[in-house]
Amino acid sequence: MTAKTIDLNADLGESFGHYTMGNDSAMLDIVTSANVACGFHGGDPEVMAETFRIAREKGVSVGSHPGFPDLWGFGRRVMPFTPAQIERIVAYQMGAAQALATYSGHRMTYMKTHGALGNLTERDPAVAEAIVNAVKAVDPNLPIMAIALSHLDRIGRERGLTVFSEIFADRAYTEDGHLVSRKEPGAVLHDADFAAARAVRMVQNGAIETISGKMLPTRIDTICVHGDNAESVDVARKVRAGFEAAGIALRALT
């Protein structure tokens, strides 16, 4: 994509049984792509099918969003799986998402890892390799959405996969371009106006903006707003409005 177009994605379909997470209906009116939980950190067959159905009706692209099997921790705790086991839990969840998307009349556009599993792909090349192995085994034509400047971003391209490089509207960045740990204060940005203005700056400059304001050049295909925060809908709306005001077109990943 050029600097004048961007995909806006969100992690959705994360409710489970009687437990509701986020406001998916509102978010699906704003974003252009939805990363749908596959049942391990959130989501279930009913939630998945409904999320895919609504996304199809609203013209929103969808991707599978596999994570660690950690409902209690919402997939945000590192679990001691080997790289080979990670390959299989990712393949398993991709299969579930593919089945429910097809059932709902939609189709998968990409795969994006969730939470702690996704964060590991920034720093651990063995985990990144495992993710690439899973995708190449299940569907080598399926693109990966990878955190910009991560090992997964690099290794996916080196091994011939299509990679969509992702930055985050509502997460802070360290000086080396990694996401600030959620254990640290200020890791998640709750000020919608600040998040929107920073998102526009990053896309216009083709760079990640760190806590200090330093710009780290990177490819940017898509920008994420998390769907599970109290401010998620407001942040997403203002990010989208900011892009539109700056002449940056919103376009779903294809």
Q: Options 3.30.2350.10, 3.30.450.40, 3.40.30.10, 3.20.20.370; which CATH number does 5-250 get? A: 3.20.20.370
Q: How confident is the model at residue 2 (pLDDT cuts 50, 70, 90)?
A: very low
* pLDDT tens by residue, 87-106: 999 999 999 999 999 999 99
Domain boundaries, the chain: 5-250
Task: Decide if 40 contacts 75 (C-beta within 8 A).
Answer: yes
Specify whether the backbone of 75 is left (phi greater than 0), alpha (psi in -120 to 50) or beta: left
pTM, rounded to two decimals? 0.95
Give dist(CA 64, CA 62) in Å, integer: 7
pLDDT of residue 222: 98
* pLDDT tens by residue, 198-212: 999 999 999 999 999
Give dist(CA 34, CA 18) in Å, integer: 21
β-bridge partners, 62: 34, 108
